[in-house]
Structure formats: C-alpha cells, structure tokens
Copies of this chain bind each other. A is one copy, B any other.
C-alpha cells in the first residue's frame, strides 16, 4: 500500500518543493493550505502522515492537531519557523509525533517522514485489545503470540484493523488488496478471510451479512 501524505502549509512554494521530494519517494501526496480543509481531508482520506505547519490562516496548527487527534491516529509532523515554539510542540499532551524547524532541507523532511512510517502505528492495536497489527513489521499478534499470515491475509487484516468496527465491503477489500485493475469474484475474499480466521481464531473478523466484514472493536 502506498503511504499517503497530507501537506498543510499556506506557502505554495514550500508545498510544491516538498511535494516533489515526497512523490519521488513513491508516496501519494495531497496538499491543502488552510486548517479547516486539513481536518476535513484527514477525516475523509485518512492519510498516514500529516505534515502540518504551525502558522496557518484561520485555525492554527495546534488547533488542527487537537481536532485531528479526536478521531485519527495519523502521524503528525509539525513545521515551525520559530524555535521557541518547539517546546510547545514537544510538551503538547496530544502531541505531534515529530517536528522540524524552518528552514529545513527537503531531504531532512523526507527522512523524518520515512522514519514515522517505519514506526509501529500509535493506536494500531485493534479489536478486543487481544489482537495487535503492525503494518511496518507486517506482524500480527494474538494475545501476545505471533501469528504467521500470508501477504494477502495480512493485507486484509491490516485494512480491517485500520478502523475496528467499521464495515468494509468485499468490493472495497478487493480493490484495496488486489488493486483497481483486478477482475474477479467477491468470493475470493471469503476464502482468504476464512483462512485468516483459521489462523487468528474466531471472534475478531465479523461477517456483516449482505455487506462485508469488520473487525470486532473491543
């Protein structure tokens, strides 16, 4: 899965520059230039990393961060032009995951974003608290015991674990795991889900008749 990055800054030249660097790394990049749009975007598109300037028109970066944190566990990397703001960023109770002081080198930013994506995801422990999914390591753990999954099984589980309790249709799973060009039967998903259940045990992946699957939320 291509990591998805949202850049939030009101200076177009910076957006363009950084976007170029990130896209060269193979990331999917979106940009917005104000705080409200940023919150909207995170809600709708669920990016993996948000690069967020503190100084924004309308609501500022801190407020954006606070709002994002009420519904998302995306990584947030904050940008600030003032080094005296660093304390505030670091000390924040609902904290940013990293920060950079302007001016920064685009390479540096790319390195930081990469580092964030390597981290095990903050709130990625899903289901009843007995199931943990780590996308970076591609490991799944049930009650502390590691479970060996195939690539497809893991992908399905990771997508479901992104939002425990939220139903994902078979079509969406097909699309997300096999790619948009794949043509084939929904039934294929059933088989992999069955195999997945055989490995992680029952009670985690729930069937929603007529719709799809969801992960039990503890």
Contacts and interface: CB of A to CB of B under 8 A. Distances in A.
Contacts of A211: 138, 151
A187 interface: no
Given A136-B167, A138-B167, A163-B118, A26 B91 contact: yes
Interface in A182-218: 208-211, 214
Nearest to A152: B210
A191 B165 CA distance: 29
Contacts of A98: 1
Contacts of A87: 24, 26
B166 A136 contact: yes
B150 A210 contact: yes
Most chain B beta carbons < 10 A, residue from A24, A139, A171: A139
A180 interface: yes
B97 A180 contact: no
Contacts of A137: 165-167, 214
A129 interface: no
A93 interface: no
A44 interface: no
Given A165-B137, A211-B138, A24 B180 contact: yes
Most chain B beta carbons < 10 A, residue from A24, A91, A163: A163
Contacts of A152: 210
A59 interface: no
A120 interface: yes
Interface in A65-99: 86-87, 90-91, 97-98
Interface of A: 1-2, 24-26, 86-87, 90-91, 97-98, 108, 111, 118, 120, 136-139, 150-152, 163, 165-167, 171, 175, 180, 208-211, 214
Given A138-B167, A138-B211, 10 more contacts: A24-B87, A24-B180, A108-B118, A111-B120, A118-B163, A136-B163, A136-B167, A137-B166, A151-B208, A151-B210
